[in-house]
Amino acid sequence: MAARPNFESVNDNIVWKKAVSHLSKNDVMLARLIKKLGRLDINVTNDYYESLVRAFIFQQISGSAGNSILKRFKSLYNGRLPSPRRFLSTPEGRVRSAGISPQKYSYLKDLCTRIEDGRLELDKFRHMENEDIIEELDEVRGIGRWTAEMFLMFSLGRTDVVPRDDLGIKKAIKRVYGLKDYPSGSKFSELSEKWTPYGTVASLYLWHSVDNGILK
């Protein structure tokens, strides 16, 4: 049997230091950001099921609204997230009473059904390549490439993820690199090639540059 691949995690301090060194050496603008912002914190969770449930609940609403709905949802199950089986045995009306829309209910139901019938095995993701994970998650109702990329970054801690369709990343690149418009596909490729294999860390610094008003 072939050995399962082991992937580095951005949550590892040694990996983070290697990433910062690589990015600073290969990209002058990122070097400036890293110097200004210092070490960033990234919260990587290994509860893959909960991270996907949260992703559905928080879709297209504010963080405070998402937290409120998640709290009410958990209160239906004594303050804990229900197992997929328990969720599927709960009447839809009871679930929706927590503030979950019909569309989001359908997403949660599809996720839990796939986990229960074995079509989706979340634990095996830790040993899979990024694109294979994205392809498998894309089969789940309500999960597109962006949500899958967030899963790669914040649940698996993968080091080389650059969400090309993320508006915050596009805004940051435009401002940090002094572009007249959002980056073209070729510009995005040019930059991400310099960041590889630490595109996730580059993305984090770009997001924080927007949040902190760096390099306006």
User: pLDDT tens digits, residue range 23-59?
Assistant: 999 999 999 999 999 999 888 888 999 999 999 999 9
Start-to-end CA distance of the chain, whole Å, equals: 53
Burial 109-144 (b: 16+ CB within 10 A, else e): bbbbbbbeeeebebeebbebebeebbebbeebebbe
Choosing from 27, 110, 123, 166, which is the catalytic residue? 166
Domain that holds residue 22: 13-43+160-211
> Domain boundary at 112, 128, 154, which?
154
Judge whether 8 lies within some domain. Answer: no
CATH number for position 106: 1.10.340.30
Q: Is 117 designated active site?
A: no
Do 150 and 165 have their domain in common?
A: no
Q: Which of 138, 154, 170 is the last residue of a domain?
A: 154
Amino acid of residue 121:
E
Residue 66 lies in a domain: yes
Output the pLDDT for position 41.
Answer: 86
Residues 33 and 115 in one domain: no
CA-nearest of 133, 106, 109 to 121 is 133
Q: What is the CATH number of the domain that holds 192?
A: 1.10.1670.40
Q: Indicate the residue among 105, 139, 154 that finishes a domain.
A: 154
**Secondary structure (DSSP) of 167-192:** HHHHHHHHHHTT-SSSPPHHHHHHHH
> What digits encode the pLDDT tens for the residues 118-162?
999 999 999 999 999 999 999 999 999 999 999 999 999 999 999
Q: Is 1 a domain residue? A: no
Instruction: Identify the pLDDT of residue 124.
Output: 95
